[in-house]
Amino acid sequence: MTAVADAKKICSLLLRRYPEPMLALHFSNPLELLVAVILSAQCTDARVNAVTRALFGKYRTAQDYAQADLTTFEGEIRPTGFYRNKARSVTNCCKAVVERFGGRVPEDLDDLVSLPGVGRKTANMVLGNAFGIPGIAVDTHVLRVSTRLGLAASDDPVFVEQELQRQLPKSRWTAFSNATILHGRDTCTARKPKCGDCVLREVCLWPDKSGIQR
């Protein structure tokens, strides 16, 4: 079976398990998702959602974030961790959105990654989930699951993104990313993966099944 066939089969199995995979982050527009993803670094989505519930009611535009008092904003996002760095990332990012894109989050990958604090993972999450533009967001879960499955053999997120793009239909990129994130959290965890309950067990090339749980 070819790598392309494997990837398509894996994608089909994942989407059978997660028919309409959605990000766990709460948002109602591209700006909210952009801010939420920046805040989610090394933080649980549940905690980010708890913080953004109030944050999104106060800061409604990129201009609002750009003009925010930094000390106040740091306090508002403190529960997400690394709040000083994140506060600068969000405010600087939104200043660039205002100055270079008229206050609207751009719908282009190159434009998005040119913003302060925005990498390819964040950009692809925003494109795929807020704009409906296919993208593969390689976070820690997608990286781990993809290498265990044998879809890619690298710890470089950009390389893994390119490999997955090559093997999967573009129309499935976002759904595959979202489903793989869910699978990485639910089943193919970093420690003690639940291989006995995994819908991908028969197609997985990962040799170490010592962490099997039933």
Instruction: Write out pLDDT tens, residues 51-71.
Output: 999 999 999 999 999 999 999
Contacts of 177 (CB under 8 A, 6+ apart): 124, 125, 128, 135, 136, 137, 138, 142
pLDDT given at position 63: 98
What's the whole-number mean pLDDT along residues 124-146? Answer: 97
pLDDT given at position 206: 83
pTM of the model: 0.92
pLDDT given at position 208: 59
Instruction: Write out pLDDT tens, residues 167-207.
Output: 999 999 999 999 999 999 999 999 999 999 999 998 888 87
111 is catalytic: no
Residue-wise burial string across 125-156, b where 16 or more C-beta atoms lie within 10 A, e elsewhere: bbbbbbbebbbbbbbebbbbbbbbbebbeeee
**CATH 1.10.340.30 is the classification of domain 30-131:** yes
Residue 177 near residue 145, CB atoms below 8 Å: no
pLDDT given at position 209: 54
Higher pLDDT, 205 or 100: 100
Exactly one of 110, 121, 197, 208 is catalytic; name it: 121
Q: Structural domain boundaries of the chain?
A: 3-21+136-203, 30-131
Class for the domain spanning 3-21+136-203: mainly alpha
Q: Would you say residue 210 has pLDDT above 70?
A: no
What's the whole-number mean pLDDT along residues 88-114? Answer: 98
| Residue 12 structure tokens | 């089909």
pLDDT given at position 207: 75
pLDDT given at position 48: 98
Exactly one of 108, 139, 155, 209 is catalytic; name it: 139
Share of the chain above pLDDT 90, in %: 90
121 is catalytic: yes
